Structure 1
Amino acid sequence: MNNSQNNVAKSYAIIGFGKIGKALAKAFARKGIEVSIATTRNPESFASEAAAIGPSIIPTTLAEALKANVIFLAVRFESHADVAKTLPNWQGKIIVDVTNAYGVPLEQLGGQPSASVVAQAFTGGRLVKGFNHLGAAILEQDPAVHGGSRVVYLASDDDTAAAEIGELAKNLGFSPIQLGGLSEGGLLVQAQGNSWGKLIFKDLIKFDL
């Protein structure tokens, strides 16, 4: 009961409206959950695309979208720092890191998991790595499959934030699986240089027996 009440109070935004951003928007639209969409472009430029996905998809400015308390970062990994700079502090916000750092030199990451680098950029925010292991063509599909539900993996150094995003994933129709911390199980869903984590692209369905 409390979880559903908490979710009612939550506000959501997706930063980025490329293939992954649109796939996430379709997941929200499928359940009629309102989510703001923003890019660096004027919201009028993608308003018709948003409207085509569903009435709960709200095109807005970046500044307006960042008022949400759960923010999906669906931009290129290289752009995460630009988004992070738009607010001096991300206190009270959960950042869901949907980026993939494939091809980014390991030296550039300082030997850390890419999500740890993203987490450090978003000062004060709570970061959850998730929804990034599936390609857009799979992610945009209905997660209800043959009586089961599509798995999404979540990793975070903040158990409470991971649990909150797990609840959201369930509300969107997915089966969340918690992998633990970013530098532990989280490595299974993070690209390292030119190699992919072992769980990336694995499209699994969970059945409740």
Structure 2
Amino acid sequence: MSYAIIGLGKIGTAIAQAFAHKGLEVIVAGRRSLDALAAQIGPSVVPRRVDDAVKADVVILAVPFATHSEIGRTAESWHGKVVIDATNAFGVPPEELGGLPSTAALAMSFPGAKVVKAFNHLPASVLAKGARTPQGGRRVVFVSSDDDAASASVAVLVDKLGFAPIELGKIDEGGLLVQARGSTWAQLIFQDLAKFD
């Protein structure tokens, strides 16, 4: 299974650090050269162009919500891929999304992909602290998708990275708990929760 993160701002960097901490290889790509930042994060973080990153089996979108359609046009085909939506559409009027949850609207730019919402509910500064909380628990990452198998596979990745996955179900059901709507943050956004095994 190959992984890529598109966007190495604060959220993308925090996710890349989680991969590096576990020694898992991940491609990173963005609008600018990421060679120096990737080298700083760790040897398992491989900088590439966006054109190459979209070839990965699992593509994590850590970009501003408004740029997702541009990335969607980059791949020849999204069939069979998992796209993890780590974006937040805060401030985007619901009518611009056709009344849909932001992840459902975003999914239209990735035809054939299995789209999963994850890694978006924590502030970057908290996500960058890593999977373990000061109290010794595993930091929770919420996962939501209309494809149960894709949701389960992303939950496995979240677990591999050391976090505690909590599956919320369908995007327009439990997934609404981690979707910003207009100028309102959803109930679980910013909730830094931990699971104790």
TMscore range, shorter length: over 0.9
1:80 pairs, out of 68, 89, 94, with: 68
1:26 maps to 17
Match for residue 180 of structure 1?
169
Task: State the shift of 1:198 in Å.
Answer: 0.1
Counterpart CA distance in 1 for 2:176 and 2:113 is 20
The residue that corresponds to 2:191 in the other structure is: 202
Letter in 2 for 1:131: F
- Post-superposition shift, 1:48? 1.0
Q: Which range moves more in the overlay, 82-91 or 157-166?
A: 82-91
Other-structure match for 2:118:
130
Count of residue pairs the alignment pairs up = 196
Q: Which runs of 4+ in 1 moved over 3 A?
A: none
- Taking structure 2 as the reference length, the TM-score comes to 0.97
Q: TM-score scaled to structure 1, two decimals?
A: 0.92
How far residue 160 of structure 1 moved from its aligned partner, in angstroms, is 0.1
SS in 1 for 2:34: helix
User: Displacement, 1:161?
Assistant: 0.2
Give the superposed CA RMSD.
Answer: 0.8
Q: Which amino acid aligns with 2:114?
A: R
Deviation at 1:120, TM superposition (A): 1.3
User: 1:94 maps to which residue?
Assistant: 82
Q: Which residue of 2 aligns with 1:158?
A: 147
Paired position in structure 1 for 2:55 = 67
Query: Following the alignment from structure 1 to structure 2, what is the Cα–Cα distance between the partners of residues 113 and 26?
Result: 29
Partner of 1:7: none
Report the Cα offset of residue 141 of structure 1: 1.3
How far apart, CA to CA, are the structure 2 residues paired with 1:147 and 1:23? 19
Cα distance in 2 for partners of 1:67, 1:110 equals 29
Matched to 1:37, the amino acid is V
SS where residue 143 of structure 1 aligns?
coil
**Code of the aligned partner of 1:181:** K
Q: What's the secondary structure of 1:144's corresponding residue?
A: coil
Q: Measure the CA separation in 1 of the matches of 2:122 and 2:115.
A: 19
Q: Distance in 2 between matches of 1:88 and 1:64?
A: 11
Deviations 1:40-93, CA, capped at 9 Å, x for gaps = 23xxx3211110110000000111111110000000000000000112420010
Q: Secondary structure at the match of 2:162?
A: coil
Please list every run of 5 or more consecutive structure 1 residues that lacks an aligned counterpart in the other structure. 1-9
| TM superposition shift of 1:140 | 1.1
8 Å Cα contact 1:88/1:123 also seen in 2:
no
Q: Point out where structure 2 has 5 or more consecutive residues left out of the alignment.
A: none
Quote the residue 1:5 is aligned against: none
